[in-house]
Structure 1
Amino acid sequence: MRWTIKPKPKQEDINALADALKVDELVAQLLLQRGISTYDEAKHFFRPQLSDLHDPFLMKDMDIAVHRIEEAIANGENILVYGDYDVDGTTAVALMSSYLLSYYPNVATYIPDRYDEGYGVSFKGIDFAEDNGFSLIIALDCGVKAIDKIAYAQQKGIDFIICDHHRPGTILPSAVAVLDPKREDCSYPYDELCGCGVGFKLIQALGSRRGETIDDVIYYLDLVATAIGADIVPITGENRILAFYGLQVINQQPRIGFKAIIDQINKKELTITDVVFIIAPRINAAGRMKHGQHAVNLLTETDMGQALKFAAEIEKFNADRKGLDKSITEEALVQIKENGEIEGFTSVVYHDSWHKGVIGIVASRLIETYYRPTLVFTKSGDKLAASARSVKGFDVYNALEGCADYIEQFGGHKYAAGLTLLEEQYHNFKHQFEKVVKETIEPHLLIPEITIDSKITLKQITPKLMRILKQFAPFGPGNMSPVFIAENVADTGYAKGVGANGAHLKVAVVQQDSYKIDGIGFNLGDKLPLVTGRKPFDVVFSIDENEWQGTVSLQLKIRDIK
């Protein structure tokens, strides 16, 4: 691991903010490192307010989208709410359809089949709309690059409203309205919304025209918070407000579908991390293993008995997904070794029988072993389909643009993308991708980095500090949980490996014999020799609470040791 300590802000800025907020210097430093330098900015950060959400009509085409939906309702048209099969797409479809159905009956949902139709707007989906008399499709978390599909719908007299957050191409599709804060000509103040977030702005706008306030749509924020966490968008600005209140909804009055999932796990209060690792994989498992519509059914269900059935079904999908991703990861690791590609700049693997629903997860798993841009391919119809994942600081989307000659279709983000190509182009693509990455990646990006906020001493770790750090949540990109380094600490003789085969490291450390604190390092069991015999070491960690037999104590959640 590369340890990178963030630059310390100027001492006079730290002093000024500490004085203004009546906090100690460490807290002021952490805030300044997050771009918070005034009392007012700190107030907005610690006390997010729904009133600080932006006016949805600041988004380009919002007025047109609202007008077209109002017109459809006035004319009794059938509206199809269409979305991608992942968490962002299915939550967005659940949000938009349940909101519209609360006051208008002619609304149905459509999630494309991952295997039959692939990502985004499909010709099959448009044919379905035509066959069933839908004259307006609202597409969520997809559509901004579906030029030919939208043109096809236009020929059939079907209008499209697009709510997307992916980077548009040079040409926008000929939809009635394209809501995407990443549009070059859109001056909306915050461009990091997820697809469900853009959908929320549309229902906020629709509601405002019906005399509703933000309090009337707060109920939908559990879906938005889940999408924000799962889609790994920055938890800054407007997303921070949406996630903060969405978590409150999840913990205080979750929709029936979420309650059915939460009731199966023993957790009192869910954090954004719990949403990412407990709720999101289950919602995703539906689209991966069976069909994304199962997730929409669960998220829109209002009968608890039925929701529990749906949740049990999704639990089974998730268990199947776990087994598959484990076995495929093992096969892929063998392939990398057998092909003699351990020393390369990329990992590109392919097998025609790998399950398309888990190749994205497998790509992420491979990065845990070989830290470099990774693609996992499988057979999809008469083509090959892949999921791409990247390492911190490297734009895999741009790298794929450098391989466009060999690709049929691709889309995505800086760190995650999907693509299809013809089987005969696989080796050409693989060679070109390695070449592009080798020429453009900075070598240090191939070593995993831990970004450290500050050096501290163990005696600075107090219940008061923990109370303040908890108010930094929800954590995520742009506002990660603070990470610290303590130098020259030693174990008290308690260190041991715990868990299966001693996989995890348990320690009790002191610094200058003054203050003892326990620590746990998950998957750091191999570091045990570094800490035994009271040898001094440096430790990088976040601060955590450990509850044991009703007693809560502070502990180090260890990230690395040197």
Structure 2
Amino acid sequence: MNIFYLGKKTLRGNYLSFNDSNNEEIKKVQDSFDLNRLEAILALSRVEGIDKLGNIHKFLNDRISAYMQNVTLIDFEKALERIYIALEKKEKICILGDYDVDGITSTVMWMDFFRAYGIEVEYRIPNRSDGYGHDPDVLKSIDCSLFLILDCGSSQDFYGIQKNTANNSKKDICIIDHHQTANDPNVYAFVNPNRADSDIRTQEEYKNLCTAGLCFIFIYKISEMIEERKKVRQNISPKVFMDLVALGTIGDCMKLSGLNRAYVRYGLQIVSLTKRIGLRSLIDNLGLGNIAAGDVAFYICPCINAAGRIHSSGLAVDLLFTKDSVEAERLSKSLISLNTKRKEMEKKALDEALVKVYKEIHKEIKFMDINNNLEPDKQRDSEEEKIPERDDANNEPNVDSKQKSDNESQSVVIVRDKDWHPGLVGIIAGRIKEKENVPVFVFYKIGNEWKGSARSVKGCNIGAVIHESVLNGLATSGGGHDMAGGVAVNDEKFSEWKNWINQKIHKMNLVPEKIINIDAFLNLNGLNMTNVSKITPFGMGNPYPKIILSNVLMLSVMERGNHIMISVKDEKYKRTFWMFNSKEIAKDILENRYYDLILSLSEKKNHNVIDILKR
């Protein structure tokens, strides 16, 4: 690393770290895998262990079929055989899904599959206003012999639901989920790679899969069983579900390595060529072309999620399932409209939440840009959101955040309001987390219970923290992943729960990351020639490459709303870039001065500046 960068801060207050690969190592990877230099650098940074070449080969060449052999998921064989029997006997099946993209795509996959074999199937998905999961008592009144509970159910108890009072028939429940839990839901089969009683050595390959990814394994293996046992061709190929698997995996922010990378890499091709009339209509109405992971994450998934957030999850299911082009057009436009409305509602609630946070933590209301730490692609689905200056002296907010002085760091933010919309608290938590860079809980109230969403940072497994609070009798229910979760707390227990959470996370001594990891240096000509397609798709676990355009001359700086459009040149070339949600630093960027630009590279080459360093 050039000594020039040691200890230097960018205009946004970040420090820079640099890839430490040596030229000999880079050249060896280039020659071994036919990569360009930047692709080789990125490949080296994506793998760990002594056998880097072997791990890079696996990273670049993972095949879905390789993961479909010798499945070691607990209860997998039991659930697989039960579903096969239901197919054989033409049993009526009920699917109980979740309201997010993962739950919706999982539900549609099974509906498509069962109907292809002439099975009578019905589904139920709650809206976020209904709360997480399904009421076990409701299952008693549903006339089905097999229930598939998808992307939820792990934290519930279905004990005693074995008989249908109407006809005394047996009910079997199979849960397919991936949320962390220490709970035993008391069901026929419980397939969850993150269940507490699992052996991590046998579940390692599956622990980062979302429910859609797990469901695909089931459908793949059942399809094999049909061919082997019946000696007939499959009625529907598992490959047709790869578009849904890609949506679910990206929408649930799963780590894009191993099987997930294979899922998404192949699935994006299917999305671009999708024969699902509803999905095609949504893509066309959003104005998207060839689909990249960023398009799914920041355009398609928010529209699908908007249905369950502020309306009915059934709209999204209908969109992905419809065979009617007129209906597809109506549904896709409805979802886009709902997402626009969701953003408007989110802005209002976010303003209120941030006012509460800053009055308590910073003891002042600031005119804040809540998006200025987001990745460029994340900003596409964001409005220009600011905290307006306002006088709340006569309206004391209900704030549960620890006070932060100039000499005291904030360990966790906990904020609640009884009137916030259930479909927005997760988004608000994410926005505050990006700004404060600490774990965040945001709550709304139903009856005597506070229900909240959590978003976390590296080093704090928020799902595990929530589970521990449930086991300690402080929360009534909850679960989640490393980086996100949900929790319910009785009103009379809230203060005790809050104090426990504050102490628990404070003891972790989390160090906020203000570091941008730089992969390479390029000039403008090199940037124009850059191709990193062999390393895509980018996302969680495979971050967008960060490069430095070194020592470029600033020709112009123009504010466009909350964004900046800058034009620069080096010795030979000129180029214009966008820097999103950066109005607050525009005054610090001077024309006819030299700077280093930090860029985030995208699959579609619409690269954006994310930070600037003075020369």
TM-score of the pair, normalised by structure 1: 0.88
1:163 aligns with 2:179: no
Counterpart position of 2:476 = 408
Q: Which residue of 1 aligns with 2:96?
A: 82
| 1:24 CA drift (Å) | 4.7
Does 2:136 match 1:73?
A: no
The more displaced of 261-270 and 322-331 is 261-270
Amino acid at match of 2:445: K
Which AA in structure 2 matches 1:32?
L
Q: Which residue matches 1:154?
A: 162
* Corresponding position: 1:177 with 2:193: no
Task: Give aligned pairs, total.
Answer: 538
Contact kept in structure 2, 1:377 and 1:386, CA below 8 Å: yes
Question: Which amino acid counterpart does residue 589 of structure 2 have in structure 1?
Answer: V
1:145 CA displacement: 2.9
Measure the CA separation in 1 of the matches of 2:445 and 2:207: 35
Residues 167 and 545 of structure 1, relative CA distance in 2, 3 Å threshold = closer
Deviation of 1:52 after TM superposition, in Å, equals 3.5
* Cα displacement (A) at 1:42: 4.9
Task: Name which of structure 1's ranges 277-286 and 107-116 shifts more when overlaid on structure 2.
Answer: 107-116
Counterpart contact for 2:86–2:146, Cα < 8 Å: yes
Structure 1, residues 355-383: CA drift from partner, whole Å, max 9, x if none?
Answer: 11111111112223333211111112331
User: Relative to 1, partners in 2 of residues 1:342 and 1:259: Cα closer, same or farther, differing over 3 Å?
Assistant: farther
The residue that corresponds to 2:595 in the other structure is 537
CA contact (8 A) 1:352 1:378 kept: yes
Indicate the structure whose relative CO is greater, using CA pairs within 8 Å and at least 6 residues apart. 2
**Deviation (angstroms), 1:417:** 0.8
Q: Which amino acid aligns with 1:472?
A: I
CA distance in 2, matches of 1:38, 1:23: 15
Partner of 1:350: 416
**Counterpart residue type for residue 146 of structure 2:** L
CA contact (8 A) 1:256 1:307 kept: yes
Structure 2 CA distance for aligned equivalents of residues 422 and 16 of structure 1:
59
Residues in 1 aligned to 2:416 and 2:93: alpha-carbon distance in whole angstroms = 40
Aligned mates of 1:42, 1:406 — CA distance in 2: 45
Deviations 1:387-446 (A, max 9, x none): 11112333223443564442111111111111111112223333332232222132x32x
The one-letter code of the counterpart of 1:204 is: Y
Change (3 A) 1:279 1:556: closer
Task: Tell me: CA distance 1:119–1:255, structure 2 relative to 1, closer, same or farther (3 Å).
Answer: same
1:517-542 residue CA offsets vs partner (Å, 9 max, x unmatched): 43321112333343314333333212
Moved more, 335-344 or 27-36: 335-344
Where does residue 483 of structure 1 map in the other structure? 546
Q: CA-atom RMSD, angstroms?
A: 2.7
1:89-134 alpha-carbon deviations (Å, 9 max, x no partner): 0110011111111112321111134333x2124224413xxx2311
**Pairing 1:86-485 to 2, within 5 Å after superposition:** 86-116=100-130, 118-127=131-140, 131-146=141-156, 148-149=157-158, 151-154=159-162, 156=164, 157-169=170-182, 172-183=184-195, 184-185=198-199, 187-188=202-203, 189-211=205-227, 216-339=237-360, 340=363, 341=403, 343=405, 344-401=410-467, 403-404=469-470, 405-442=473-510, 444-445=511-512, 447-454=513-520, 456-458=521-523, 461-464=526-529, 466-467=530-531, 469-485=532-548
Looking at structure 1, the residues matched to 327 and 453 of structure 2 have their Cα atoms a distance apart, in angstroms, of 34
- Structure-2 separation of matches of 1:51 and 1:215: 17
Structure 1 portions without partners, runs of 5+? 547-553
Alpha-carbon distance change, 471 to 255 in structure 1, aligned in 2, over 3 angstroms: same
The 1:421/1:484 distance shift into structure 2, 3 A limit, reads same
Q: Who is 2:577 aligned against?
A: 519
1:15 equivalent in structure 2? 27
Note if contact 1:110-1:125 (Cα within 8 Å) is conserved in structure 2.
no
Describe the SS at the equivalent of 1:154.
Answer: coil
- 1:167 Cα offset (Å): 2.0
Task: Tell me the CA shift for residue 40 of structure 1.
Answer: 6.6
Report the residue type matching 1:557 in the other structure.
Answer: N
- Cα separation, 2, equivalents of 1:294 and 1:276: 19
Q: Counterpart amino acid of 2:42? A: L
Normalized per residue, which structure has more helix? 1
SS in 2 for 1:282: helix
> What is the deviation of 1:254?
3.8
Q: Which whole-Å CA distance do the structure 2 matches of 1:485 and 1:291 have between them?
A: 45
Correspondence for 2:391: none
8 Å CA contact retained: 1:517, 1:555: no
Q: Is the 8 A contact 1:530 1:537 kept in 2?
A: no
What fraction of aligned residue pairs are identical, expressed as a percent? 28
Query: Residue 561 of structure 1 aligns with which residue?
Result: 612
Residue number in structure 1 paired with 2:6: none
Return the letter of the residue paired with 2:187: A
* Residue 395 to residue 102, structure 1, CA distance change in 2 (3 Å): same
How many angstroms apart in 1 are the aligned matches of 2:180 and 2:567? 48
Q: Distance in 1 between the 2:189 and 2:358 partners?
A: 49
Cα 1:293–1:477 change in 2 (3 A) is: same
Q: Normalising by structure 2, report the TM-score.
A: 0.81
Alpha carbons of structure 1 residues 172 and 453: separation in structure 2 relative to 1, 3 Å: farther
CA distance in 2, matches of 1:139, 1:429: 29
Residues 22 and 414 (structure 1), Cα distance of their counterparts in 2 relative to 1, 3 Å cut: closer
